[in-house]
Amino acid sequence: MVAGSPVPSDPSPAAARRWIAGEQERRRRGLALDLVVSPMEGDLVWGEVGLRGFDPAVRRAEVGWWLTPEARGRGVAAAAVDLVAAWALGAPLGLRQVWARIDPANQSSAHVAEAAGFHRLGAAGLTDVWSREAIPNGPDSTRQ
């Protein structure tokens, strides 16, 4: 779990439906982009990866993710975070930075961030801050 972005305390299907129902409004208002993580076939939900806290002046956003216990340990989270970060840093969004706050005790999330190309910037409050930046004129960035 990403610090500051806890999994909702109510794991019921009704709570999930309420959260999902609000996704379109959050996206429309530019507040967040929430994406389901699932296998290629079937209708299983393995988790979620998303962006929030968009800062258009600095051109950055925060990434967060979670996975069900059954999906962990397969590289799924790292692949999902990598895909979302690469998309956000490339055209048309063209962010300069995607960052994550991770509880220092959550070594699994630190491994996910590292595998997705993030590096640890340091501690801020009770969290570690990880970052992935666009490479000027590189594959993640088409804007200067």
* Span 74-95, pLDDT tens digits: 999 999 999 999 999 998 889 9
Question: What pLDDT is stored for residue 93 in this prediction?
Answer: 87
Q: Per residue in 63-75, pLDDT tens?
A: 999 888 888 999 9
Give the CATH number of the domain where residue 49 resides: 3.40.630.30
Question: What pLDDT is stored for residue 1 in this prediction?
Answer: 35
Q: Is residue 73 part of a domain?
A: yes
Reduced to 3 states (helix: H, G, I; strand: E, B; else coil), residue 89 is helix
Pair of tokens at residue 130:
């990880």
Encoded amino acid at 121, one letter: L
Q: Is residue 139 part of a domain?
A: no
Query: What is the number of domains present in the chain?
Result: 1
Distance (Å, rounded) from C-alpha 68 to C-alpha 82?
A: 18
Cα three-residue angle 86-22-24, rounded to 5 degrees: 50
Mean predicted lDDT score pLDDT of the chain: 83
Distance (Å, rounded) from C-alpha 17 to C-alpha 49?
A: 17
Distance (Å, rounded) from C-alpha 100 to C-alpha 3?
A: 9
Lowest model confidence (mean pLDDT) among 62-71, 114-123, 131-140: 131-140
Question: What pLDDT is stored for residue 2 in this prediction?
Answer: 39
59 contacts: CB under 8 Å, gap ≥ 6: 94, 95, 96, 97
Q: Is residue 2 part of a domain?
A: no
* C-alpha distances out from residue 40 to 43, 72, 115, Å: 9, 16, 21
Question: What pLDDT is stored for residue 11 in this prediction?
Answer: 57
Lowest model confidence (mean pLDDT) among 13-22, 24-33, 81-90, 121-130: 13-22
Q: Is residue 7 part of a domain?
A: no
**CA nearest to 47, candidates 22, 18, 11, 21:** 11
pLDDT exceeds 70 at position 126: yes
Q: Is residue 70 part of a domain?
A: yes
Q: Is residue 144 part of a domain?
A: no
Provide mean pLDDT across the span 18-33: 73
Domain that holds residue 86: 13-133
Distance (Å, rounded) from C-alpha 51 to C-alpha 102?
A: 15
Question: What pLDDT is stored for residue 38 in this prediction?
Answer: 85
Reduced to 3 states (helix: H, G, I; strand: E, B; else coil), residue 62 is strand
pLDDT exceeds 70 at position 9: no
Q: Is residue 28 part of a domain?
A: yes
Provide mean pLDDT across the span 15-25: 69
